[in-house]
Amino acid sequence: MGHEPVRVSLFWKVYLTILGSLAAVAITVALAAYVGTSPDADWGAWRDRVLVTMFPAEDGPQELAATIERLQAGTAADIAIFAADGTMIAAAGAPIDAEGLERRGWGRGEGGRLHLFDLPGDRVLAARFDQPFQPQRTRFLVLLALVATAIGIAAWPIVRHLTGRLERLRRGVEAFGTGALITRVQVEGRDEIAAVASSFNQAAEEIERLVASHRALLANASHELRSPLARLRMAVDLLPENADAVRRAEIVRSLGELDALVEEILLASRLDHIRDLDETETLDLLALVAEEAALHGLAVEGKSVWVEGDPRLLARLVRNLVLNAERHGAPPVTIEVEAVASRARLSVRDHGPGVPENERDRVFEAFYRPSGRSESAGGWGLGLALVRQIAERHGGTASCEAGPGRGALFVVDLPAVPSRS
């Protein structure tokens, strides 16, 4: 049996796709900001043209002082203009140390919040701003990251709502697949997911109706067969004493098989209808198996193991295993009850021809006939199918294994419970 593939949540697929798209957009914009045309070059050229226009070479100290005061009033910056030899021509705001500027070196440049700009006439404008006087690409990237984060947070509940509806639809389909035919899913919204949910509900309703009709037909037909069988049995009992004894025995045997088959069909139909056992009790599996085996003249080995279940169904399980071993196997038939970990294990072994390995699971199918088996020999009927049904209703399993040498080994595992003693 292959391993079940690992299921990746659709929620994470959709959500990570959105985050991946945001990351791709952010990286593309960041690369365009750094690798493309530099915004600093455009900003610097524009800034130089503005300063040349504001401080032409023909302006004297008075004109420069008036312009600086207006600029300082509008920008709240500390501004000073120096001649090529370091002499201050005009200033506004807090003083700017000319010696510090000489240590920095004349010419265009910037350091921290203090900026130096070349002016016509070999002059230098020094300006100290409260904030950097240049484009801030870092701020742009931070803003871009914040926008992406906000979109990611906003997308979370939307994607969760979308995939949550799909998850609820999946759980409903799985519940329906396990046999809970009454399962329906809630139709939410008016989109494609709602349409799928609505279609599922319609299909589930139709399937439930067909299965119920089939079960009712099977149960009614089985009940109706009881009446002619009873009349036939009565007719056989009324045959004259001088009637053919062999023919009488054959008729009685056939009627017995038909009666048993009808009973098995009714039991299988009832087990199909129920999901949980109605009445259960704690019982000693060894005692129950020994009582049923004694009816067939067989002994049971092992020790007491307690299980929780329906005594009539478990007795039927044991009876079917014994009848199967006697009908399709060969003596001696050995029965053993043992405790394995927290499980109760029932083993029924015969010494017949055994079951081929490729058919050991199929023998539990209803009316399965193995390859090469003649019509007169018959198939497995419903006996082993009921064994598996009853075992599963009790939370257990039923399997067919190879016996030692010749023969078949049928094993039923049931959950064990603590002893009442």
67-110 residue pLDDT tens: 888 888 877 888 888 887 778 888 888 888 766 565 444 444 44
Using omega within 30 degrees of 0 as the cis cutoff, is the peptide bond preceding 132 cis?
no
**pTM score, whole prediction:** 0.47
Round to whole Å and give the CA distance between 89 and 76: 19
Q: What is the pLDDT of residue 85?
A: 78
3-state secondary structure 371-421: CCCCCCCCCCCCHHHHHHHHHHHCCCEEEEEECCCCCEEEEEEEEECCCCC
Q: Which of 241, 273, 305 is at the close of a domain?
A: 273
Same domain as 394, residue 322: yes
Per-residue pLDDT, 7:
46
Between 3-12, 125-134, 234-243, the lowest mean confidence (pLDDT) is in 3-12
Residue 253 half-sphere exposure, CB side, CA atoms within 13 Å?
Answer: 6
Residues 269 and 311 in one domain: no
What total number of domains does the chain contain? Answer: 3
Q: Is the same domain home to 264 and 296?
A: no
Q: Is the pLDDT of residue 361 over 60?
A: yes
Asked if pLDDT for residue 191 goes beyond 50, the answer is yes
Percentage of the chain lying above the pLDDT 70 cut: 68
Q: How far apart are CA 177 and CA 170, in angstroms?
A: 10
Is residue 215, in this structure, part of any structural domain at all? no
Predicted local confidence at residue 335, as pLDDT: 92
Residue where a domain stops, chosen among 135, 152, 186: 135
Closest by Cα among 60, 170, 179, 206 to 121: 60
Evaluate whether residue 287 is within a structural domain: yes
Same-domain check for residues 385 and 296: yes
* Same-domain check for residues 286 and 378: yes
- pLDDT the model gives residue 346: 92
The answer on 411 and 285 residing in a single domain is yes
Last residue of a domain, one of 96, 112, 135: 135
Q: Provide the domain limits for residue 371.
A: 281-415
Average pLDDT over residues 282-301: 89
- What is the domain-level CATH number for residue 126? 3.30.450.20
- If you ran DSSP here, which 8-state letter would residue 112 be given? T
pLDDT of residue 234: 72
Q: Are 113 and 106 in contact (CB under 8 A)?
A: no
Domain containing residue 300: CATH number: 3.30.565.10
**Residues recorded for the chain:** 421
pLDDT digits (tens, 9 = 90+) for 401-420: 875 557 788 999 999 888 76
For residue range 110-122, what is the model confidence (pLDDT) as tens digits? Answer: 444 677 888 888 8
Residue 131 maps to a domain: yes
Residues paired with residue 109 on neighbouring β-strands, in sequence order: 116
Residue 268 shares a structural domain with residue 296: no
Q: What are phi and psi of 142, to 5 degrees?
A: -65, -45
Q: What are the DSSP E strand ranges found in 29-95?
A: 78-82, 88-92
pLDDT score at 417: 86
Q: Are residues 296 and 263 in the same domain?
A: no
In a domain, 397, yes or no: yes
Are both 410 and 327 inside the same structural domain? yes
Residue 246 lies in a domain: yes
On whether residue 124 sits in a domain, the answer given is yes
Is 119 domain-assigned?
yes
Give helix 285-294 / helix 311-328 axis angle, nearest 10°. 50
29 within a domain of the structure (yes/no): no
Task: Say what the pLDDT of residue 105 is.
Answer: 45
Same domain, 285 and 267: no
**Closest listed residue to residue 412, CA positions, set 267, 295, 393:** 393
Query: Across 76-149, where does the E strand assignment appear?
Result: 78-82, 88-92, 109-111, 114-119, 123-128
Do residues 265 and 288 share a domain? no
Which residues 6+ apart lie within 8 Å of 328 measured at CB?
350, 352, 380, 408
Relative to beta strand 334-340, strand 88-92 is unpaired
Same domain, 258 and 294: no
* Predicted local confidence at residue 405, as pLDDT: 58
